[in-house]
Amino acid sequence: MTAPSTACTSSTDIAVLGAPSNRWIPGLLLSVLASLLTHGWIAAFDYSASTFSDSLDYLMMADFYRAALYGGSLEDAASFYRSTRFPPLFPMLLGVFGGDSEHQHAASIVSNLIAVLACLLVWVWSHRTSASTVVATLITVSTVLLPAWFTLNLTPVSEPLGLLLATSAFILLGTQAINARRVFVAALLVGIAPLARTALLPLVIAFAIWLFVVRPVSMRSLVAALVVSWAPYASWSVYRSLIGSTQYTHYLSPKAYADAGIALPQALWEQPLRLVDALVAGWNPWDGGGWILALGWVLLLLAALGCIARMRRMQLDAWFLAGYIALILIWPYPKEFTRFLVAVYPCILLCAATGVQMLVTGPKQPVDASRSTTLAVGMMMGLALSATVPTLMRYAHRATLPVADELLGDKREFEFFNHPTDLDALAAAEITGRSRLLLIDARQLVPEDACIYGVLPQFTRLYSDRTVRPYPLDLYTERGHADEKLSRCDFFVIGSWQFTLYDLPSFYPAEEFGGWTQPLLASEMEIEGRSHLVAALFRRNVPAEAPAPESASEPP
């Protein structure tokens, strides 16, 4: 085995590991308290998931693992499991700890506990790297209080698990005491990270680069670590290909870029502009102009400067961040950029701190804990925190708005917090909640072997517990043929919660239901003293039975 390399470590790491002072304890406690309060509020009454399709998929994937472990029907769960594109690790953890589509509160608790652990590891990693309790605490608290982090975690999501795995690897390799065991454990964490989030594939690539450049262990151990880091996702991809599942490469098709209006050479400058906008939207989703936009540019430029410096020092997190940003820039769905950035926000802040340090002390010095550096970094992160204050104040107000007990889970949704007015937010909770309750009631009216048409297949399937087919999108362009085009199912769900999706009007396609369907259930909400229809369940008219022929009269 070769001698441990110091190329990946700054001298400050040694100082932190050997420091006898306990002055770091208040910073750690503050970070843990902020995380517990934030995620505890979410998990306390998060009884249901409604608006984020990825979370609904995770819950239905968890059905498979929970049924396999604790007993239950596997047929429907296995069918969905084979069709979904999502990797298995996060829903597997949900299922192991009792969460699935029928136990959503347990799933939310598991997801938010993972988020708390991820924030704890962010503090440990940033403290070891920066040698500053102040910097580590600011990075962690800034992550916890990032509005986009809060709204993302309102439903079970895999980003915190991905952050936990990546940060664990950074901690293991961010020290001079690197040996074969540390490298092997880090390789295992890196290898399973894409099984939590496929977007973490750049971490596997960054780890391979780090191994071959730093060479912290013997060649035999290095090759073994490389195999361990690549085997999990490679095996999963082969398996999914063999069973015909959708792969993420499908979403990088020329059609996807054309639909998003992304084309060369404009994309070379338009995508970075969208990246800045996405960061700013994570701070303030309503007003991202003025000084907040300028701050977004400054922070990302500082992060780019610091990332380059850390890449030259062979820091794994910097190589990962560079690859991850490259992945974002080629992703043809700009609306998802904010969500992508949330998962690496601590890395962005740490690299920005390195960029500030370089401006203060010079490019050749390692990150230090001097008063001047800490003050400069603290000012930069304080500005980033201040950019979130208007949003956090609005979120705090929204959290106090009263809703019916059965809608407490629907209050913990992205739509509730990000609508522009309180009235819209309350209406959003009513719409999702009343629609959800109607679908649960529909179980009593729709036979188990029947299917339902709906605009939101995942949402409808999750709560109706029935097979669901999506409506064709052309029912209003080719009028008069809905009864023929909708021949595969006899039940139909419509709702006002559909109107913002797919450019379809509210209650699509109810205008085509006249004469051949009948209503079975309806759900209403009351806003400002007036009742409004929220959702309804229709059934195809049952053909009337022909009357029995009269018996022939006896001849006289």
Q: Are residues 452 and 325 in the same domain?
A: no
Burial track 109-142 (b if 16+ CB lie within 10 A, e otherwise): bbbbbbbbbbbbbbbbbbbbbbbbbbbbbbbbbb
Q: Are residues 353 and 424 in the same domain?
A: no
DSSP one-letter code for 249 = G
Q: Are residues 442 and 484 in the same domain?
A: yes
Q: Is the dihedral angle over the CA atoms 434, 440, 444, 450 positive or is it negative?
A: positive
Residue 406 lies in a domain: no
Give 91's contacts (C-beta < 8 A, 6+ positions apart).
58, 59, 61, 62, 64, 65
Residues linked to residue 399 through DSSP beta bridges, in sequence order: none
The three-state secondary structure class of 527 is: strand
Give 482's contacts (C-beta < 8 A, 6+ positions apart).
475, 509, 512, 513
- Residue 415, phi-psi category: left (phi > 0), alpha (psi -120 to 50), beta (remainder): alpha
**Chain-centre distance of CA 331, in angstroms?**
16
Q: Are residues 330 and 472 in the same domain?
A: no
Closest to 119 in 3D by CA, of 196, 59, 37, 24: 37
pLDDT band at 3 (very low <50, low <70, confident <90, very high): very low
Residue 550 lies in a domain: no
Give 7's contacts (C-beta < 8 A, 6+ positions apart).
213, 214, 313, 314
pLDDT at 549 over 70: no
Rounded average pLDDT over 398-414: 92
Give the DSSP H/E element, type plus range, for residue 526: strand 517-527
One DSSP character per residue, 83-110 reads: H--S-SHHHHHHHHTT-BTTBHHHHHHH
Residue 185 lies in a domain: yes
Domain count, the chain: 2
Claim: this prediction has a pTM higher than 0.85:
yes
- What values do phi and psi take at 532, rounded to 5? -130, 135
Q: Is the dihedral angle over the CA atoms 190, 195, 197, 202 positive or is it negative?
A: positive
| The pLDDT value given to residue 305 | 95
Residue 234 lies in a domain: yes
| The pLDDT value given to residue 366 | 54
| The pLDDT value given to residue 244 | 73
Cβ proximity of 460 and 422 under 8 Å:
no
Q: Are residues 56 and 126 in the same domain?
A: yes
pLDDT band at 82 (very low <50, low <70, confident <90, very high): confident
Q: Are residues 251 and 148 in the same domain?
A: yes
Tens of pLDDT, residue by residue over 120-178, are 999 999 999 988 899 999 999 999 999 999 999 999 999 999 999 999 999 999 877 88
Residue 3 lies in a domain: no
Q: Are residues 465 and 375 in the same domain?
A: no
Q: Are residues 350 and 443 in the same domain?
A: no
| The pLDDT value given to residue 104 | 94
Domain that holds residue 495: 419-540
pLDDT band at 452 (very low <50, low <70, confident <90, very high): very high
Rounded average pLDDT over 395-399: 96
Q: Are residues 305 and 375 in the same domain?
A: yes
CATH code for the domain of 495: 3.40.190
Residue 409 lies in a domain: no
Write the CA distances from 445 to 441, 448, 460, 520, integer angstroms: 8, 9, 14, 8
Kindly report the CA angle at 276 between 272 and 278, in degrees rounded to 5? 110
Q: Are residues 356 and 480 in the same domain?
A: no
Tens of pLDDT, residue by residue over 92-102, are 999 999 999 89
Rounded average pLDDT over 67-76: 78
Q: Are residues 84 and 183 in the same domain?
A: yes
Q: Are residues 381 and 463 in the same domain?
A: no
Give the DSSP H/E element, type plus range, for residue 530: strand 530-540
Closest to 278 in 3D by CA, of 256, 293, 259: 293
Cβ proximity of 172 and 182 under 8 Å:
yes
For the beta carbon of residue 160, count every other beta carbon within 10 angstroms. 27
Residue 383 lies in a domain: yes
- The side-by-side arrangement of strands in the sheet containing 517-527 is 467-470, 451-454, 491-495, 530-540, 517-527
Residue 545 lies in a domain: no
